[in-house]
Amino acid sequence: MKKKAFAKEDNSGKDNWELEIKVAHSAHDWRRAKEALGREHGLGGGREAGDRLCQLIFEEGRLAAVLVWCAAAWHLKDRDEAVGWDAVTRSERLKLVVQLRRFLVLEEARRPNLASQSLGLGLRKLAEQWEVEHGYRVLLAESFSDPESHAGTVYKVTNWEQAGVTKGYSQAHTDYYVPNGRPKKLWLKKLVPNAYTLMCARELPEACRGALVSRGGARSPLKNAQLGSLRSAFLEVPDPRHPKSRRHPLSAMLSLIGLGLLMGARDVLDIWRKVACLSQSQREAIGLRVRDKQTKRLKMPGYDALNDLLAAVDPEAYAQALTAWLQANTGLLPRSLALDGKSVGDGRCGMIITLCRHEDGRPVAMAPATGKKEDCEVSEARALLADDRVQLANSLITADPLHNKHDTIQVILQKGGDYLVGTKENTSRRLKGANSALKGSPFLK
């Protein structure tokens, strides 16, 4: 009969449970763990980055396994896409992720299922022990396995998810990476069922807030002079707010919304998250004036203030002002542009049609649409392309099948541009024509 693995609390005095977990507190405990890793682990003891935790697993009083946890990797594309956060949110909340830096089952203690039992026990205790050690609770664990030497079976049986494969780089210095020719499998393990939702929430749980790190707002794509220029572009937009509700200057708030869109925000909440990290000099350049009474630091408008303003402002006036600024500052449009429409906020604000650069997603022109039949994405996108201020000469415009309309394509051609537009079965004549024109070419293989 197979034995079952149980966890025994530290110093409980019970000796009838099979597995016992202990956190390495003393130098002696850490030295013991490092010696075992150096002796038996293929990568040695290693060096941990940031906050760290060492779990020692004992079986019948004998050291059986060692788990070393530390700070997560700074940027992992597949992990960040799985979580759903942007670069700024990641920089502020990365400490919510902890990395399994080393995992070793000692040779003399090996037996069937010991690895999975040890890892499972470590995971169950990880969040609690990490909070005791560092003052905040973590929500997600990450680890890597080398597909050339390990199948990752222990991760599968302990319910980790394979999130992707790394690009095969090793850190050679603080911010310098070199290719190692050995991509690793990336594994993720939620420490609570709704980990991703909590990691992207407006407010973190109380136990997790100690993980927050302020990054000072260095990620704005615009310099201070450009922020001032953007603010000036909105000085003539009518203010829809009641005079008693105008706490922050309208031009500053509209600039924050425009900046959020430039940074790739998908909705009002995303805009608020991206601009919330602006530094004091950036806030001053954008025109904010309200200061905290105690610290005297410039305050950022709240999410509700931005959301209410975007629902009330004249979308046509705002879009015209932003498009004029984009055109004045962009110069000649790049050769490859994407046309797309996205809903804004909770739908009260309709949608925004955007013409943006393929290489970085930065908008070069925008137009609002209600989404209704007489003011839909197709008609407003066509009007945006036809706007005299929007230059299409020597540009390739890409769009989805929704914009596969003769009138839209004619606008692009008349303004000297080229187009690459998708087609579906609902445009059967165009699909048949495309198939006929491309017959025998590599595009249909």
Q: In angstroms, what CA-CA distances link 371 with 250, 271, 340, 352, 380?
A: 26, 21, 13, 9, 9
pLDDT of residue 332: 39
Of residues 178 and 350, which shows the higher confidence score?
350
Lowest mean pLDDT across 95-104, 266-275, 353-362, 392-401: 353-362
Confidence of residue 16 (pLDDT cuts 50, 70, 90): very low
pLDDT of residue 375: 62
* Residues 120-141 pLDDT 10s: 999 999 999 999 998 999 999 9
pLDDT of residue 348: 57
Q: pTM value?
A: 0.48
Residue 49 confidence (pLDDT) above 70: yes
* Residues 263-288 pLDDT 10s: 767 778 878 888 887 888 889 999 99
pLDDT of residue 431: 72
Residue 42 confidence (pLDDT) above 70: yes
pLDDT of residue 63: 93
pLDDT of residue 181: 60
**Residue pair 256/286 in contact by the 8 Å Cβ criterion:** yes
CATH of domain 330-445: 3.30.420
Confidence of residue 4 (pLDDT cuts 50, 70, 90): very low
The helix (H) or strand (E) run that includes residue 339 is strand 336-343
CATH of domain 7-211: 3.40.630.30
Give span(s): CATH 3.40.630.30, the chain: 7-211
Residue 218 confidence (pLDDT) above 60: no
Report the 10 Å Cβ neighbour count for 210: 14
Dist. CA 287–CA 278, nearest whole Å = 12
β-bridge pairing 140-145 and 363-369: unpaired
Backbone angles phi, psi at 305, to 5 degrees: -65, -45
Dist. CA 284–CA 300, nearest whole Å = 11
pLDDT of residue 40: 87
**Residue pair 247/308 in contact by the 8 Å Cβ criterion:** no
Give span(s): CATH 3.30.420, the chain: 330-445
Confidence of residue 175 (pLDDT cuts 50, 70, 90): very low
For range 49-59, the mean pLDDT: 91
Residue 362 confidence (pLDDT) above 90: no
Dist. CA 225–CA 67, nearest whole Å = 50
Residue 445 confidence (pLDDT) above 60: no
Say what percent of the chain tops pLDDT 70.
82
Dist. CA 335–CA 364, nearest whole Å = 12
Strand partners, 21: 57
- Strand ranges inside 106-262, DSSP E: 140-145, 161-165, 169-173, 176-179, 185-190
Dist. CA 203–CA 221, nearest whole Å = 25
Q: In angstroms, what CA-CA distances link 63 with 41, 99, 107, 122, 183?
A: 15, 22, 11, 14, 32
Highest mean pLDDT (candidates 165-174, 185-194, 273-282): 185-194
pLDDT of residue 443: 46
Q: What rounded mean pLDDT belongs to the chain?
A: 81
pLDDT of residue 171: 52
Residue 219 confidence (pLDDT) above 60: no
**Residue pair 55/64 in contact by the 8 Å Cβ criterion:** no
* Residues 223-257 pLDDT 10s: 788 888 899 999 989 999 988 888 999 999 999 99
pLDDT of residue 352: 81
* Residues 309-348 pLDDT 10s: 988 888 888 888 888 888 787 543 445 788 887 766 555 5
* Residues 411-441 pLDDT 10s: 988 888 888 888 776 566 767 777 776 665 5
